[in-house]
Amino acid sequence: MHEPNHSLSDAHRSSPAEDGPGPSRSPVSWLLLGLLAIYALACLAGWPQAGRDRIVAAQRAEAAHDPAHDPAGTADGLHDEAAAGDAPAHGVHPSAPPPVTTLPFALLLAAIAIFPLSPGISHWWEHNHNKLLVAGLLAAITLGYYTFLHHQPVDLHFPAHALVPPAATGPSWPTVGAVLTNALFAEYIPFIALLFALYVVTGGVRIEGDLVATPTTNATFLALGAAMASFIGTTGAAMLLVRPLLETNKERRHVAHTLVFFIFMVCNCGGLLLPIGDPPLFLGYLEGVDFLWTLNLWKPWLFTNVVLLAVYWIWDTFLAHPRETPRDRTRDERQTTPLLIRGLWPNAPIMAAVIAAVALLDPAKPFPGTDWHPWVFLREAVLVGLVLLSLLGGDGKIRTANGFTYGAILEVAALFLGIFVCMQPALAILHERGASLGLDSPRSFFWASGALSSVLDNAPTYLVFFNAAQALPAAGATMAGVDVGRLAGVSLGAVFLGAMTYIGNGPNFMVKAIAEQSGVRMPSFFGYLLYSFGILLPVFVLVSILFL
């Protein structure tokens, strides 16, 4: 049997879950209370309100902007001299760094892809503090370049767009400050806050039971997970359903293919319809894509998942299930218990509130039916409060039964801290030179973003190609400055082709590790490729032909 992924299995042994009456005394609960207190103090000082006001002012300036009278406007048609410090009013433009500055970003993504699979390094890499060390060192190299070597203005994206000039002499602290602000405040904090909320709230719900593991039963699990993934996230849906699926199939010997299809559908292809479904789509939402825009992709979502479901049912009905021994089938039919869902209260209404907060509390958009714009980071403060309610109001024993710990989300937080900093040069280069990549059609963006999402994490890959598409002139309607056809190609490629390998999306490896801990012999890295190339690739070819 393959060894389980140690970084995840160790995560389940560390950071003890909230247990019994303990959540109210948990350090995590106190930390969340402290964050809410800090935000309350910031509100008393007027900082979130001031940030919101700058966003609204920038939007009004953009609406009234006349390029003929402002040759120094940024790529977004904005110029905020107050934020830009001593930036001159005319003739200054941001300048992208040289391509070599993307090396730390490439090295970090390579480490994420290779280190877990390297026998000599995997044990060292399994510890989150070592991931943070690698991510932090590579991020420091990127920041060092901006501090000492980058002598051109840079775009500031938070709270509103502005142009920040370099220092006249010596280290350029304004430049590195703008880069850090873009990476942390505009991207990292909203990203981690959402993932943390989805992870913790779904961790308080448990589905347990043992049904008869027929092909139809397993297909129902897959269909349910694919439908849920867009609304509670691929990570949430996978963690919620993988254990009851394994429990249902524990009497069967041929189970690996069921978990592979689970990764295909629940961990990836099902999460296409809303920004909370998959991390790359949420990054698009942070870049200005409307919350409900991805619902326009329901046709490729439905086609892909229905085809995969049909292939699975045929496979399990005619190939896998008939290979089970009569003894195992008899045990499976006799050893059953009905499904029981625990923890829906208070977590189901809290999850609905999470979705509402993400959809409605965007400071760049007025609250529906009003002219009021939410304050900066109000959305994230509400998410923190909802997590706290889940911890305090939920049953800690359910989290213990789920094997819930904070290890997995800490792993994501450590790695993406470095990713968001290291990717800043790549984003600047693509924004300036994206039109020269040779990508133009939605289909080319689908395969380009999908190919990299297969071997790298699909969230930063999405953002790279989003910026490349944004730099191109639109052929028709646009969304967030991107031609809608190209945006569909980037979205479909990043979400769907993240299923091509174990390392394409975070939940893929998590499901593999949990399955192996339960005794399922999962395919190796290259064995999994045989599944994905044989099953997924033909489906994705059809998607690109029919919908792009």
Return the percentage of the chain with pLDDT > 70, whole number: 90
Containing 67, the helix (H) or strand (E) segment is none
Distances 75 to 62, 86, 180, 531 between C-alpha atoms, Å:
11, 19, 20, 43
Q: What is the pLDDT of residues 315-337, one digit of tens each?
A: 999 999 999 999 999 998 998 89
Q: Kindly tell me if the per-residue pLDDT of 13 is higher than 80.
A: no
Between CA 199 and CA 92, with CA 420 as vertex, the angle to 5 degrees is 145
Name the CA radius of gyration of the chain, rounded: 24
The pLDDT assigned to 427 comes to 86
* Top-confidence residue, 514 or 374: 374
The sign of the torsion formed by the CA atoms of 74, 80, 83, 89 equals: positive
The pLDDT assigned to 544 comes to 97
Average pLDDT of the chain, as a whole number: 87
Segment 489-514 shows an average pLDDT of: 90
The pLDDT assigned to 344 comes to 94
The pLDDT assigned to 65 comes to 64
Q: What is the largest CA-CA distance in the chain?
A: 82
Segment 53-82 shows an average pLDDT of: 59
Q: What is the pLDDT of residues 109-119, one digit of tens each?
A: 888 878 887 88
The pLDDT assigned to 11 comes to 40
Containing 156, the helix (H) or strand (E) segment is strand 154-156
The pLDDT assigned to 70 comes to 40
The pLDDT assigned to 48 comes to 97
Long-range (24+ apart) CB contacts under 8 A made by 473-478 are: 473/435
Residue 532's nearest CA partner among 510, 506, 503 is 503
Range in 67-76, 209-218, 227-236 with the lowest mean pLDDT:
67-76
Q: Kindly tell me if the per-residue pLDDT of 80 is higher than 50.
A: no
CA dist 537 and 529 (Å) reads: 10
CA dist 543 and 447 (Å) reads: 11
CA dist 459 and 132 (Å) reads: 18
Residue 208's nearest CA partner among 237, 239, 248 is 248
**Contacts (Cβ under 8 Å, ≥6 apart) of 503:** 112, 113, 116, 455, 456, 457, 509
Phi, psi dihedral angles at 233 (to 5 degrees): 90, 150
The pLDDT assigned to 25 comes to 53
Q: What is the pLDDT of residues 240-292, one digit of tens each?
A: 999 899 999 999 999 999 999 999 999 999 999 999 999 899 999 988 999 99
CB atoms within 10 A of CB 331: 14
Pairing of strands 478-479, 482-483: antiparallel
Q: Kindly tell me if the per-residue pLDDT of 365 is higher than 50.
A: yes
Give the amino acid at 183: A
Containing 223, the helix (H) or strand (E) segment is helix 215-232
Residue 490's nearest CA partner among 334, 298, 344, 284 is 284
Where residue 407 falls among pLDDT bands split at 50, 70, 90?
confident
Where residue 92 falls among pLDDT bands split at 50, 70, 90?
low
CA dist 512 and 312 (Å) reads: 18
Q: Kindly tell me if the per-residue pLDDT of 360 is higher than 80.
A: yes
CA dist 47 and 503 (Å) reads: 39
Q: Kindly tell me if the per-residue pLDDT of 86 is higher than 80.
A: no
- Verify cis geometry, omega within 30 degrees of 0, for the bond prior to 23: no
Q: Kindly tell me if the per-residue pLDDT of 58 is higher than 80.
A: yes
The pLDDT assigned to 71 comes to 36
The pLDDT assigned to 211 comes to 93
Q: Kindly tell me if the per-residue pLDDT of 436 is higher than 80.
A: no
Segment 65-87 shows an average pLDDT of: 40
At 342, is the secondary structure helix, strand, or coil?
strand
The pLDDT assigned to 469 comes to 93
Q: Kindly tell me if the per-residue pLDDT of 12 is higher than 80.
A: no
**Contacts (Cβ under 8 Å, ≥6 apart) of 492:** 272, 297, 300, 446, 450, 543, 547, 548
The pLDDT assigned to 89 comes to 42
CA dist 36 and 345 (Å) reads: 23
The pLDDT assigned to 503 comes to 77
Place of tokens 């391509």: 99
